[in-house]
Amino acid sequence: MNSIYTRIDNLGRENRNTIYRIISKKILEDFSNGIFRTQDDLAYICNCSKATITAFSKAALVSGYRELQIRLKIEYENNFDSNKSNINQIEKEFSTTIQHLEKWAIANFEKIESFFSGNTKNEFHIFSGYQTYYSTYFLEDILEKNNMNVRLIKLDKDIISIKSKNYNEINSIFILSGRDTDSLRGFFEYVYNKNSNIIVIASLNWEHYLNSKKVRSIYFDNEHFSKGYLDRNFQLIYLWKYLDFKLNL
């Protein structure tokens, strides 16, 4: 801030006059809390005369303490008030985002919980594209913690081993989101033809296709969240954490 604030700060840092340092420190401390004292109050607190306060003000290149105080108030209103307003807006938006995450997780939780807790088969395979792969590590940890046999399928490496598996004995979780879902669709068709014990979390553009397959499906919230990497993973991680709480009740 190239301003009266900076001049006062510099007077406290650079001046050998100890009382100037005390005055500078007190003015800036009050400024950060939105306090603007009278010259009498400041002189009393700093244990100096009003003349010293005036001299300090002139050293800050203003006509006197009254002008210094006015300019400090203007800078506070122009900077700190707007910053507080921005912070309040950010906090409000963050709180709203958390509410939307919670609402989405609760609305879809029954499907995901029944899939994991209602299965007698204890082996789960997780299929995800690149966009949401990060979140699957959290799901893997949660399921393993609850004594479930879990495997994250890597699309570029596991195609041969998948064909050797008996999917009648395996539960499958598919996350269909992002641009690399063509190969995922092929995996889905293969597994679906072997065993329909599947749950899918997908973008809304998959709705018609998945309805034709009659599998349990959960759709990402496009109304309150973007379709990008960050928002998709946050939605999933929030859902996984909710699952973690419920499985450990």
Q: Which two tokens stand for residue 99?
A: 């509410």
What average pLDDT score do residues 52-57 get?
94
- 172: phi then psi, degrees, rounded to nearest 5: -125, 135
Closest Cα to residue 27, out of 16, 14, 39, 15? 39
More confident residue, 93 or 88: 93
Q: Does domain 119-247 have CATH number 3.40.640.10?
A: no
185 HSE (CA, 13 A, CB side): 12
Exposure letters 26-50 (e unless 16+ CB within 10 A, then b) = bbeebbeeeebbebeebbeebebee
Number of Cβ within a 10 Å radius of residue 89: 10
Closest Cα to residue 242, out of 159, 172, 139? 139
Percent of the chain with pLDDT over 90: 48
Enumerate the H helices of 15-80 as residue ranges.
18-32, 39-45, 50-59, 65-75
- Residues 124-164: tens digit of each pLDDT: 999 998 899 999 999 999 999 988 899 888 877 766 677 76
What average pLDDT score do residues 188-212 get?
89
Give the pLDDT band (50/70/90) at residue 82: low
Residue 88 has pLDDT above 80, yes or no: no
Residue 87 has pLDDT above 90, yes or no: no
- Specify the CATH architecture of the domain 4-85: Orthogonal Bundle (1.10)
pLDDT for 1:
47
Contacts of 46 by beta carbon, 8 Å cutoff, 6+ apart: 19, 22, 23, 26, 52, 53
- Give the torsion sign (CA, 243, 217, 175, 190): positive
More confident residue, 26 or 161: 26
Q: pTM of the entire structure?
A: 0.66
Residue 86 has pLDDT above 80, yes or no: no
Among the ranges given (41-50, 118-127, 194-203, 228-237), the one the predictor scored with the smallest mean pLDDT: 118-127
DSSP 79: I
Cα–Cα dist 170/149, whole Å: 10
Cα–Cα dist 47/29, whole Å: 16
DSSP 187: H
The domain ranges of the chain are 4-85, 119-247
DSSP 175: E
